[in-house]
Structure 1
Amino acid sequence: MLREYLARSGLSAGEARQVTLVAIPPVSGEQALRQGQVEVSALGGVLRDKALERGGIRSLFVDTDLFGQFTGGAYVLRDKFIKDNTNASRKLVEGISRAIEWAQTTPPEEVRARFDKIIAERKRNEDASSIKYWKSTGVASKGGLISDSEIQVWIDWLVKDGLFKPGQVKASDTYTNAFNYFRPGKTAEAR
């Protein structure tokens, strides 16, 4: 995202190469920024909201400023695991897709209340303070259905960076919605 932001902000490829990218764990990003170890830190979701609430830093951009509403990540299962555990794979993906859809269609305060209840009932001495920052699943499509356009963003970046050749990878070959509860073609009766 940072490279895309730099390019859209008018930096030439040479100027953008002068920016040193450093991999740090997301939970350490705010600390690295505040201690001056980095000039910019990629903070997302709760980590970003907590850091902004503490003050002294500002947001430059969020990924949706660059690409609109999209899902930036996905659950991944190996082909062999799916083949060897088809029923478990189907149940896992269907359950996740239904949970995503529930959170997408339920008022945020009700979702946060459910999170609070789950954590309290587990009795694991967990810190639930970050729940107040929850806004959404961050998943753009109903039930987490994946689309070619969401995958194509990543392919285009890899082509631009020279890691893929144009046409080397076809987005539709990299994912399946076959087990998603809301997959196209699944009838309401089958749900």
Structure 2
Amino acid sequence: MFERFTEPARRVVVLAQEDARERGDQSIGSEHLLLALCGAGGTPGAGLLAAQGVTAAAVEADLRRGERPGGPDLPDREALASVGIDLDEVRGRIEDAFGPGALENTRAAGRGRRRLWGHIPFEPGAKKALEYSLREAVRRGDRSLGTEHLVLGLLHEETGRASTLLRARGLTLEGMRAVWPPAM
């Protein structure tokens, strides 16, 4: 399947693998593909996402909040705020001291040992996203699969966290198909 990928689309897959490795994740999820797409500046897919307000910083923030504004830690956030503790400020200070994502890479956050080398498998949702990307390219009659097809692939519901994040920001598959220029 990867032989049909454009060079930028291949680079996105490699960046997703690197992101998963840096986070200590044992597999590549659709959220890693989304983050890699956002970071692939100058590509059609990154342009489509940026035009809709989806940036790497926004996705990172959504992931920290648990995929939706307020996130699952809202009751804890309110309890801490009632005693004068701003959870966002605490997280910010920890990340200033220990680096971005420091809290996500702890054992308490459910992270195991970091995978420093070797193959990192794709989660089922990420596999589905790649499969749907190929289907989107075929549907449009395109000969190669680019970053813009990856965006469309991530918008299918069965692709995991990326789909949830994008839908929470108001993006839909039909809407993105409409804003993407028609096939030549």
TM-score normalised by structure 1 residue count: 0.24
Using CA pairs below 8 Å that are at least 6 residues apart, which structure has the higher relative contact order?
A: 2
**Structure of larger gyration radius:** 1
Greater helix share, structure number? 2
